[in-house]
Every structure is written in structure tokens, then in C-alpha cells.
């Protein structure tokens, strides 16, 4: 099994107004994933946080990645995946970053062979993958101080 890993995609910065999302992604990420067709992509793509600022765009792009390149996609979320970057996001998620994350995790986990981990372990072809979000709330220090 071949595994590729990327982080800090910030997908919303790669959209070009004159192209569809699919065309925008192909124009940038096809070179990243295939290196002008000289590089074979892996079976699994791990995305280690900061997918993008908009859940619907994120899931659409992840579906494109899966359709064009990868059989399995595993994600953990980073600090930018918690951001509410505009008034629409603040309204939609009731000004609560954790509601946005819950929605993103649900969108990813409902797709076949797509996983958004946060303290979970999954197994693919006998290989175990574990992951947790990169957002640190300080709880470990509190726990250590009490024990």
C-alpha cells in the first residue's frame, strides 16, 4: 500500500473565477499528485489539517480527489478548519466553530472510503491509521496538574 500525505491545503485559495471547481482543482493538484504523469499516486491520501474554510467546497474537492486519484482519504482537522471566515459561516454555524467542525466531519465520514478522524482508529487492508485534530485546548496540562 502506498500512502501520500499533505497538509495545509487551504483549498479555497486555488479557485479561479473563470473555471469550475473541478477545473481549478485539476489545473493545480493534478501536477502535485502526478508530477506530469511521471509519479504514481498512492492508494491512500492523508490530509493533516487545514483543508479549507468552506465545508461544501472542501467535500466537493475531496470527492474529486477520490474520483481522480485516491481510493481512500483520511483527514484530521487543523486550526483553519475551525475558522468561521465570514458572516454567512457565522450565521450558518451559530457563531460556533465546533458546529462547523461537526458538520465537516459528518460530510467526510458519510462518504465511502473517506474518514475524518478525531481520536479514532481505522483499518485499511490490514494497516491501522489513527488521528486527532490539531486544535489543542490545553486539557492535557490540566489533567497532568490534577494527577
Q: Which pLDDT tens digits describe the chain residue by residue (147 residues)?
A: 999 999 999 888 776 666 777 777 777 777 777 766 666 778 999 999 999 999 998 999 999 899 888 999 999 999 999 999 999 999 999 999 999 999 999 999 999 999 999 888 999 999 999 988 865 555 556 666 676
Q: Give the pLDDT score at 49.
A: 92
Residue 138's pLDDT is: 58
Q: What is the pLDDT of residue 124?
A: 97
Query: What is the C-alpha to C-alpha distance for residues 83 and 104, in angstroms, rounded to an integer?
Result: 12
Instruction: Give the chain's domain count.
Output: 1
Domain of 77 in residue numbering reads as 3-146
In this structure, are residues 41 and 4 in contact, taking their beta carbons and an 8 Å threshold? yes
Q: How far is CA 98 from CA 63, 104, 110, in A?
A: 23, 10, 18
Dihedral angle over CA of 69, 113, 108, 45, nearest 10: -40
Residue 121, C-alpha cell as written in the block = 482508529
CB atoms within 10 A of CB 14: 17
- How far, in Å, CA of 93 to CA of 146, rounded? 34
pLDDT at site 42: 82
The total number of residues written for the chain in this structure? 147
Closest CA to 1 of 120, 128, 108: 128
CB 30 within 8 A of CB 65: no
Amino acid at each position: 500500500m502506498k500512502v501520500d500525505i499533505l497538509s495545509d491545503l487551504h483549498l479555497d485559495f486555488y479557485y479561479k473565477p473563470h473555471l469550475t471547481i473541478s477545473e481549478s482543482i485539476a489545473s493545480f493538484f493534478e501536477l502535485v499528485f502526478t508530477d506530469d504523469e511521471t509519479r504514481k499516486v498512492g492508494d491512500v491520501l492523508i490530509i493533516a489539517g487545514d483543508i479549507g474554510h468552506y465545508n461544501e467546497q472542501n467535500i466537493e474537492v475531496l470527492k474529486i480527489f477520490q474520483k481522480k486519484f485516491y481510493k481512500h482519504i483520511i483527514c484530521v482537522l487543523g486550526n483553519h478548519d475551525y475558522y468561521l471566515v465570514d458572516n454567512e459561516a457565522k450565521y450558518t454555524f451559530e457563531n460556533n466553530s465546533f458546529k462547523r467542525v461537526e458538520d465537516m466531519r459528518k460530510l467526510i465520514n458519510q462518504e465511502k472510503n473517506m474518514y475524518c478522524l478525531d481520536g479514532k482508529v481505522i483499518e485499511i487492508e490490514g494497516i491501522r491509521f489513527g488521528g486527532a485534530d490539531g486544535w489543542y485546548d490545553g486539557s492535557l496540562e490540566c489533567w497532568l496538574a490534577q494527577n
